[in-house]
Amino acid sequence: MTHTLLEAFSREDQALQVEAPAADAATADSSFGHDVLASVDEIVEIARQGGMFILVDDENRENEGDLVIAADAVTPEVINFMARYGRGLICLPLVPERADQLGLTLQPCRGRSRNGTAFTVSIEARDGVTTGISAKDRATTVQAAANPDCTLHDLVTPGHIFPLIAKAGGVLERPGHTEASVDFMKLAGREPVAVICEIMNDDGTMARLPELMAFARRHQLKIGTIDELIGNTLMKKQGEQNHV
């Protein structure tokens, strides 16, 4: 856990006037997120096993949390969970090479989005779907795109799944959920394709750290931070350079 994350939680917790009861060490751990915040290695293991987790970016960036899972682990139940509880846009981060393989082109843009999110044309599986929007249909599309043998002939556009092209340099090039989710899939030894969905509150506002921690506890999920992934990646890179 990073000091930045703890400080951010403390500030937002005070702003929401959350009173922490005087309690034992277990309660104290819970109040500061020790029970839900996970290390990079823990998140990698969750990804390796095909589990879902939450990724949080810097409070000075989007300051949002996304549900994340390996694309090849997606089921209709996963899509339904994301749509029902995450409530955000369900997207498909993938490496540039996979985007080329699938014949995906960037959406036309006017101006530039604040964080430079690389949306491609939306997609649908060519076979095995009806209207494309049901949880089963979207899971079918995700599974098709996650298949390493999939080509542009297996997909149609537009559709109900929204691919995002990750930067080749990963989180060191762009510290976004797109790059972080793909980097975690690589570390886990899975196909470099993920599925993400922003987490929103019941009232439609974006969930911030206190709400994300409550969400994680409620659904028994772990939270990883992009900040820690960046630090871990930098340390590994430095170690490799020292051994050259």
Give the residue ranges of the annotated binding site.
61-62, 66, 174-178
Give the long-range contacts of residues 39-45, CB within 8 A, separation 24 or more.
39/224, 39/228, 40/187, 40/224, 40/228, 40/229, 40/232, 42/222, 42/224, 43/184, 43/222, 43/224, 43/229, 44/184, 44/187, 44/188, 45/188
| 64 and 176 Cβ atoms separated by less than 8 Å | no
Omega before 108 within 30 of 0, i.e. cis: no
Q: How many CB atoms lie within 10 A of CB 76?
A: 14
| 229 and 172 Cβ atoms separated by less than 8 Å | no
Handedness of CA 106, 178, 200, 61 (dihedral sign): negative
Give the residue ranges of the annotated binding site for D-ribulose 5-phosphate.
61-62, 66, 174-178
Nearest one of 132, 136, 6, 8 to 63, comparing CA atoms: 8
d(Cα 211, Cα 149) in Å, to the nearest integer? 39
d(Cα 41, Cα 222) in Å, to the nearest integer? 12
Give the residue ranges of the annotated binding site for Mg(2+).
62, 177
Helix (H), strand (E) at residue 198: strand 194-199
